[in-house]
Amino acid sequence: MNAIAPARPAETGCSDAPVLYERGQREVFCGLTGIVWLHRKIQDAFFLVVGSRTCAHLLQSAAGVMIFAEPRFATAIIEERDLAGLADANAELDRVVTRLIERRPDIKLLFLVGSCPSEVIKLDLSRAAERLSEAFAPKVRILSWSGSGIETTFTQGEDACLAALVPGMPDETAAAAPSLLVVGALAEVVEDQFVRLFAELGIERVRFFPPRRSDDLPAVGPQTRILLAQPFLAETARLLEKRGATRLAAPFPLGVEGTTGWLGAAAEAFWIDAARFDAAVTPRAERARAALARQREKLAGKSIFFFPDSQLEVPLARFAARELGMRLVEVGTPYLHRGHLAAELALLPAGTALSEGQDVDKQLDRCRAARPDLTVCGLGLANPLEAEGLATKWSIELLFTPVHGFEQAADLAELFARPLVRRSRLRV
């Protein structure tokens, strides 16, 4: 037992709660969308999608104006001649990659990213990556992962990408001192805050994954303790555990409670004493609570409905319910990983309606019937629901905005409060 971790509620929240599992039309992004933030994070990597014009168009629509900032991603658009024979498609891919590497000599790591069309025609990108790696070694490493819609939903693209990096991580020697590995792409400002926090706690050996540069992969081994910063990293965590690392069970660092619990799990694993933990964490937690209080006034008692999008829904719902005093109508998630979400589910108010997967029209029926005060959903649904008189918060922003940790807790709350404040201001 640990003196540091926040008191667990007596009831087990939603640990054993039933989940409505739905199949049908899904209004979600595919994993390719992850490229939009991953290419900003790993600064010497290039992402080449092998797909159709649809894939290129999706990236362009998702990347907005970023497309013009010499982005480090592109699409090799499959044409009719490529569909004629497989050998030909591989030759074409080699040609495109060669041209790309000639044009962009700064690339150190190239990801070949699979799409629905490439998967359906069974174009073996992992073999292509091996073949091309041999050709371009040692200058450029070439890896592959799938961001296809048939395999991945939105943030699962990041999971697939990080999973592809795991085999290249160096071995940690068995004699090494225990180290902490924070897994999941975080905003740099958040990463820096956590670095300072861990230093104050006295946890010396901390690395973040993904790293900012591809040749700076952290080591992993039996002495590695993993803290997942994001809830959508099932495959990455599995592969790290296969390398001997131990995942620390914790809630996710969203809100004061989530961040405290998350840091607490690390402190416990590294035998940090309670006084030291309190000295580092309490002032920050207090500051965050004070900032949150102002947002809580606007949100307490309001009902909220989550459409599935990123797998962040369960931690966000826990934060909304426990720290903002909101009422959970339904918490939808594209995929519910019971193991990774155990601490979160325990903290959710008992009786919360949980759903996994989606049949969008039926879910819209439920949402309309409930008329929640705030609906968290994608941009395909937001304006139509607003036109029906429902306030919405578009969910993608929660991926692109720094929301983790103490200093961002109030910003996260403000994201929920803003649509409601706006509605109260408009007089027309």
Partner 1 sequence: MQLTVWTYEAPPHVGAMRVATAMEGVHYVLHAPQGDTYADLLFTMIERARKRPPVTYTTFQARDLGADTAELFKTSVKEAYERFRPQALLVGASCTAELIQDDPGGLALALGLPIPVVPLELPAYQRKENWGAAETFYRIVRTLAGPAVPPPGSKRTARAPGQPPRCNILGPTSLGFRHRDDVHEVTGLLHRLGVTVNVVAPLGASPADIARLGEADFNVVLYPEIAYQAAQWLERSFGQKSTKVVPIGFGATTDFVVEVAALAGVDPAPVLAGTPSRAPWYARSVDSTYLTGKRVFVFGDATHAIAAARIAAEELGFEVVGLGTYSREFGRELRAAAAKYGVEPLITDDYLEVEETIAALHPELVLGTQMERHTAKRLGVPCAVISAPVHVQDFPARTSPQMGFEGANVLFDTFVHPLMMGLEEHLLQMFREDFEFHADAAPSHLGSHGAAPARAEAPPLAAETPAARAPEPEPELVAAFVAPADGPIADARISVTPVPSADGGPVTPPPAPPLRWAPDAEKELHKIPFFVRGKARRNTERFAQDRGLSLITVETLYDAKAHFSR
Question: What are the binding residues for [4Fe-4S] cluster?
Answer: 30, 55, 116
Is 32 a binding residue for partner 1 by CB under 8 A? The answer is yes
CA 309 to chain centre: 10
Q: Does 102 bind partner 1 (CB under 8 A)?
A: no
Q: Nearer Cβ to partner 1, position 64 or 351?
A: 64
Residue 33 or residue 144: which is nearer to partner 1 going by CB? 33
- What is the layout of strands, in order, in the sheet containing 246-247? 206-209, 179-183, 224-228, 246-247
- Reading the block at residue 285, the tokens are 């937690």
Q: Does 127 bind partner 1 (CB under 8 A)?
A: no
Rounded CA-CA distance 406/297 in Å is 19
Q: 8 vs 233, 284, 301, CA distance in Å?
A: 25, 21, 23
Q: Using the rule CB under 8 A, is 288 a contact of partner 1? A: no
* Shortest Å distance, C-beta 81 to partner 1: 9
| Cβ-contact 50, 115 below 8 angstroms | yes
- DSSP letter assigned to residue 6: P
Contacts of 204 (CB under 8 A, 6+ apart): 177
71 forms part of the interface with partner 1 (CB under 8 A):
yes
Q: Could you say whether residue 212 binds partner 1 (CB under 8 A)? A: no
Q: Does 126 bind partner 1 (CB under 8 A)?
A: no
CB-nearer residue toward partner 1: 226 or 385: 385
- 105-124 residues in contact with partner 1 (CB under 8 A) are 116-117, 119-121
Residue 82 sits in the site that holds partner 1 (CB under 8 A) = yes
**Residue 234 engages partner 1 in binding (rule: CB under 8 A):** no
Tell me the window of 19-27, 213-221, 298-306, 335-343 that interacts with partner 1 (CB under 8 A): 19-27
77 binds partner 1 per the rule CB under 8 A: yes
The rounded distance, in Å, linking the Cα atoms of 273 and 18 is 38
Which of 17, 66, 234, 370 touches partner 1 by CB under 8 A? 66
Residue 56 binds to partner 1 (criterion: CB under 8 A)? yes
Kindly state whether residue 4 participates in binding partner 1, applying the rule CB under 8 A: no
165 lies in the site for partner 1, by CB under 8 A? no
To the nearest whole angstrom, how small is the minimum distance from the Cβ of residue 393 to partner 1? 15
Task: Give whole-number Cα distances, 401 to 308, 397, 409, in Å.
Answer: 18, 6, 12
Q: Which stretch binds partner 1 (CB under 8 A): 59-67, 206-214, 302-310, 404-412?
A: 59-67
Supply φ then ψ for residue 199, to 5 degrees.
Answer: -65, -45
In the complex with partner 1, which residue's Cβ is closer, 152 or 259?
Answer: 152
Exposed / middle / buried, residue 2 (Cβ in 10 Å: 0-12, 13-18, 19+): exposed
Residues between 332 and 391 with contacts to partner 1, criterion CB under 8 A:
361, 378-384, 387
CA distances in angstroms from 333 to 29, 85, 255, 396, listed in the order given: 13, 39, 19, 14
DSSP string covering 378-409, please?
-HHHHHHHHHTT--EEETTHHHHS--BSSTTH
| Least CB distance to partner 1 at residue 69 (A) | 4
